[in-house]
Structure formats: structure tokens, C-alpha cells
């Protein structure tokens, strides 16, 4: 019998990571899997509540699973990333990154721009980029296979909107993905 009690999907720059948590409420067993790989295993624990901390992804984001008793033998499991609830972390992330999902040569590609560092990731790999100033902003050039790609950054002209980032692949604009 599996003691799987929670599954989360966390979108980071290097990809979407699946976190699974097993909690044996009779034995106190705790097992954490990240992308199918066992990260933590504790067989016998007398304390059924508490937390388990581990890292996720290439950037080694700190993740914590909180185990709280709700009533009697019912438990609530919450995931925190870098000290924020998963919901808050993802809301904040949508402000600091742009994500595009497209198909190139029959393969799905997930391109992520980290706005604070201007790092570009494609399918979990940090890309080699070349920045260039152009008349109306900047362009960050990189290649995916035989495809010429760049992210164009232009001012929206509105202070509250800030800079607009657009991904161009082989001279066509790619719509941004909502994660």
C-alpha cells in the first residue's frame, strides 16, 4: 500500500519539477521524491507532525513540506519554496520571469527569461546569450538547434507596466505562456 499523500508541480527556470510526498500515519514514515528520485527517507518517526526540507532544481531552491495535524488523525501538507507558500512563490515568480512554450522541430521547448539577471533557460539548460542595444530597446540573442532566437525588451511607455519582453524565433513572435 502506498502512503502517497501529496503531489505538487513546481515551475522553475530549469523546468517543471514534480514533488511527491509519502507519509505513513501509523509508522511515521516520510519519503520525499523530486522528479521520481528519492530525496529523503525516514522509516520510523514517533512525531507525526513537523517538516522536511530539501532542494529542487538546478538553482537548488529550498523546499519545505510542512506536516500539520488538522483533527484526530487527519493531516494537512503544505509546500513552501524559498520560505514562501507555493501560491505566493508562483505569484512572485510570474513578476520576475517570462515563460514561452513552443514546438521546434517537433519537440516542445520551454523558454524562461529571468528578468533580474537576464538569464535565458531552454528546457532546463542555461543558454549562451549575446545582448545588443537596438533603436527601441535591447535584444538578447541565442540559438535553439538551428533556430535563431532573441528576446526583445522595449519600454511600455507606462511606469506601472514597465518593460515588455517578446520572444522572436525565426522572425516570428511567440505568445507568452501562463503558468
- The domain total for the chain is 2
Task: Please report the pLDDT score of residue 1 as a whole number.
Answer: 52
Task: Give the span between the Cα atoms of 45 and 47, in whole angstroms.
Answer: 5
Q: What is the pLDDT of residues 46-64, one digit of tens each?
A: 888 899 999 999 989 999 9
CATH number assigned to the domain comprising residue 113: 2.40.128.180
Please tell me whether residues 45 and 13 are part of one structural domain: yes
Angle at 101 (CA atoms; ends 100, 105), nearest 5 degrees: 125
Residue 139 lies in a domain: yes
Please tell me whether residues 37 and 53 are part of one structural domain: yes
Backbone phi, psi, residue 95, to 5°: -85, -25
3-state secondary structure of 171: coil
* 44 contact partners, CB below 8 Å, separation of at least 6: 27, 28, 29
b/e per residue, 36-48, with b = 16+ CB within 10 A? eeebeeeeeeeeb
3-state secondary structure of 46: coil
Q: What is the pLDDT along the chain (179 residues), one digit of tens a residue?
A: 579 999 999 999 999 999 999 999 888 899 999 999 999 999 988 888 899 999 999 989 999 999 999 987 789 999 999 999 999 999 999 889 999 999 999 999 999 999 999 999 999 999 999 999 999 999 999 999 999 999 999 998 888 888 999 999 999 999 998 76
Please tell me whether residues 44 and 79 are part of one structural domain: yes
Amino acid at each position: 500500500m502506498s502512503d502517497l499523500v501529496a503531489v505538487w508541480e513546481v515551475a522553475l527556470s530549469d523546468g517543471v519539477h514534480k514533488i511527491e510526498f509519502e507519509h505513513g500515519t501509523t509508522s511515521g514514515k516520510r519519503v520525499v521524491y523530486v522528479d521520481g528520485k528519492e530525496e529523503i527517507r525516514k522509516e520510523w518517526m514517533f512525531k507525526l507532525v513537523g517538516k522536511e526540507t530539501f532542494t529542487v532544481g538546478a538553482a537548488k531552491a529550498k523546499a519545505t513540506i510542512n506536516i500539520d495535524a488538522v483533527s484526530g488523525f487527519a493531516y494537512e501538507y503544505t509546500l513552501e519554496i524559498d520560505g514562501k507558500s507555493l501560491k505566493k512563490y508562483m505569484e512572485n515568480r510570474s513578476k520576475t520571469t517570462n515563460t514561452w512554450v513552443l514546438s521546434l522541430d517537433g519537440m516542445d521547448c520551454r523558454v524562461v527569461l529571468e528578468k533580474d539577471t537576464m538569464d535565458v533557460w531552454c528546457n532546463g539548460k542555461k543558454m549562451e546569450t549575446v545582448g545588443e542595444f537596438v533603436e527601441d530597446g535591447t535584444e538578447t540573442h541565442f540559438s535553439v538547434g538551428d533556430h535563431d532566437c532573441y528576446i526583445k525588451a522595449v519600454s511600455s511607455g507606462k511606469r506601472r507596466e514597465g518593460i515588455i519582453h517578446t520572444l522572436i524565433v525565426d522572425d516570428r513572435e511567440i505568445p507568452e505562456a501562463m503558468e
